[in-house]
């Protein structure tokens, strides 16, 4: 009997999760940014701006944007590192990676940015290649999160930092209850109306509930070798930004 992992609230063979997640993001790619705006009333943009500010990308740094998707975080990072810096945007989903590349090219963003089809669990870069790693709303879709964190630690230089922006757990039970009502009733309906895909957005909601909470993710970062790990709650803990260093 094969080992299983979670795919939303369902248990699936470990070997099958990546394929299923890939199908979800291939389905939602072209409506992904619009749906993010609708689902969060635009608040996700504030969360992303906070994550980048906390990451403090500096002029001339080499930065890895993991699960870069449609490129909105990559664009923010490219602007911060300047022409002497370099940003690599990775994704394990070819449709999302192409969309992000095309959108940045359309905006005239090129020269100090590159793209790589890459799995977060086995990043294809040399040890110590980057000053900063950032992953926004991607870690919860990774099959083996601990392995991915170890891979991130490996490609980060000594003194570098990892920043993770991800959905988490609301700190107040009432807020979590209201958020659950909204998530399970409104978001799949929006997915059906806007993206024509209710099932994918049901999975995305369920994947948030399966993701480790703030303290558990911080512990996982520490176990992967990150030091001075900590987190900041956003919107009452609906999302959180974690940061850790390779010292």
SS (H, E, C) 94-123: HHHHHHHHHHHHHCCCCCCEEEEECCHHHC
Output the pLDDT for position 167. Answer: 96
Find out whether 226 and 155 touch, Cβ atoms under 8 Å: no
Half-sphere exposure of 109 (CA within 13 A, CB side): 25
Give me the percent of the chain exceeding a pLDDT of 70.
Answer: 99
Q: What is the mean pLDDT of residues 216-230?
A: 98
Q: Does the structure show a pLDDT above 50 at 162?
A: yes
Q: What is the mean pLDDT of residues 182-196?
A: 93
Find out whether 90 and 101 touch, Cβ atoms under 8 Å: no
Alpha carbon distance 115, 92 (integer Å):
11
* Pair type for strands 10-13 and 156-167: unpaired
Output the pLDDT for position 172. Answer: 96
Output the pLDDT for position 1. Answer: 43
Q: What is the mean pLDDT of residues 106-117?
A: 94
- Grade residue 2 by pLDDT with cuts at 50, 70 and 90: low
Domains for the chain: give ranges and CATH numbers: 4-245 (3.40.50.150)
Alpha carbon distance 132, 11 (integer Å):
34
Find out whether 102 and 70 touch, Cβ atoms under 8 Å: no
Q: Does the structure show a pLDDT above 90 at 116?
A: yes
In terms of Cα–Cα distance, which of 75, 82, 76, 89 is closest to 60? Answer: 82
Neighbouring CB atoms inside 10 A of 39's CB total 20
Q: Does the structure show a pLDDT above 90 at 165?
A: yes
Q: Does the structure show a pLDDT above 60 at 240?
A: yes
Q: Which helix (H) or strand (E) holds 149?
A: helix 145-155
List all residues 6 or more positions away from 160 whose beta carbon is below 8 Å from its beta carbon. Answer: 128, 130, 131, 132, 133, 245, 246
């Amino acid at each position: 009997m094969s080992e299983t992992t979670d795919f939303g609230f369902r248990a699936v063979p470990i070997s099958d999760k990546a394929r299923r997640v890939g199908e979800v993001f291939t389905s939602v790619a072209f409506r992904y940014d619009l749906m993010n705006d609708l689902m969060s009333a635009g608040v996700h943009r504030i969360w992303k701006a906070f994550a980048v500010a906390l990451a403090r990308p500096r002029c001339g740094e080499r930065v890895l944007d993991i699960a870069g998707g449609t490129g909105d975080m990559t664009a923010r990072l490219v602007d911060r590192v300047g022409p002497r810096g370099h940003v690599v945007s990775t994704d394990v989903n070819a449709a999302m990676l192409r969309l992000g590349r095309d959108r940045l090219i359309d905006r005239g963003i090129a020269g100090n940015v590159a793209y790589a089809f890459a799995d977060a669990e086995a990043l294809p870069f040399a040890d110590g290649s980057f000053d900063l790693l950032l992953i926004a709303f991607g870690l919860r879709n990774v099959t083996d999160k601990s392995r991915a964190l170890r891979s991130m630690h490996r490609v980060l230089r000594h003194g570098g930092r990892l920043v993770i922006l991800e959905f988490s757990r609301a700190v107040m039970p009432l807020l979590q209850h209201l958020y659950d009502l909204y998530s399970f009733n409104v978001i799949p309906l929006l997915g059906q109306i806007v993206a024509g895909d209710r099932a994918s957005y049901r999975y995305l909601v369920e994947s948030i509930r399966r993701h480790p909470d703030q303290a558990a993710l911080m512990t996982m970062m520490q176990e992967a070798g990150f030091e001075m790990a900590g987190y900041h709650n956003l919107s009452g803990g609906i999302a959180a930004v974690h940061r850790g260093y390779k010292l």
